[in-house]
Amino acid sequence: DGDLVCPTMTSHIWEKCRIPDKNIIFPRESWGGLWGRSLSEKKSLIANENLKAPMGHLRLDNAMAVPIINQNKVIGQFVLANKEEGYTKQDLALLEKAANQTASILQTLLDKIEQQKLQDRLDRVNRELHKVESLNRMAGAIAHNYNNLLTIVIAGVEMAIENLPEDDQRARRSLNYALDAANKGGDIGSMLLMYLGQSKGKEVITDLMQLSKDFLNTFD
């Protein structure tokens, strides 16, 4: 993500470090000092004096930082410190050679990590799609069964209305209310199937000009 991650560090140095909340991840905005400049400027740097370290850090008498660059992109870094007699240009040239040889190997590893991340993300998306597909099938089956049951209800109510005595208006009104509600329930089931793509809505020829006029008239 653009941060510096140090997966390898001299173990006894790590144990002696007393920086509060020490971590191997360094966000870009926190980059500083010799190694921060080396990363930001994509340059190899040596300092054999005047090194300042954060509180709790081990004392630094000298240090050398070499960025690992692949296709003009910084993908890693070597940092060494506290050589007895200080670092020389020969030391720098040797570490730069190691960085150049490491660049292609490290890039291959980073590419594999990125490919695995993409594959994991794709697998998660596929699992979510399968869940959605299963839910759609289940919702479609429920909607079909719902419509089938409503068809039986509607048919039963219609038969009851036909068999009612003419003078039983109270019962007729109640059954008509029930029939109307059942038909509206059927519309809901049809809309659900249409939303799931398991049925087509009704196609109606529309005069767009008249529709626009009617819409504009609502603002008069």
- Expressed in percent and rounded to 5, the helix, strand and coil fractions of the chain are 60, 10, 30
The predicted structure's pLDDT at residue 192: 77
- Alpha carbons 4 and 23: distance in angstroms, whole number: 11
Of the candidates 95, 97, 84, which has an alpha carbon nearest to the alpha carbon of residue 48? 84
The predicted structure's pLDDT at residue 111: 92
- Alpha carbons 167 and 103: distance in angstroms, whole number: 95
186 is written with which tokens? 């059927």
Residue numbers in the chain where pLDDT is lower than 70: 198-204, 215, 218-220
pLDDT tens digit sequence for 38-62: 999 999 999 999 888 888 888 899 9
The predicted structure's pLDDT at residue 78: 95
pTM of this structure = 0.57
**Percentage with pLDDT > 90 across the chain:** 38
151 is written with which tokens? 């068809």
CB neighbour class for 132 (10 Å; exposed up to 12, middle 13-18, buried from 19): exposed
CB neighbour class for 122 (10 Å; exposed up to 12, middle 13-18, buried from 19): exposed
The predicted structure's pLDDT at residue 67: 96
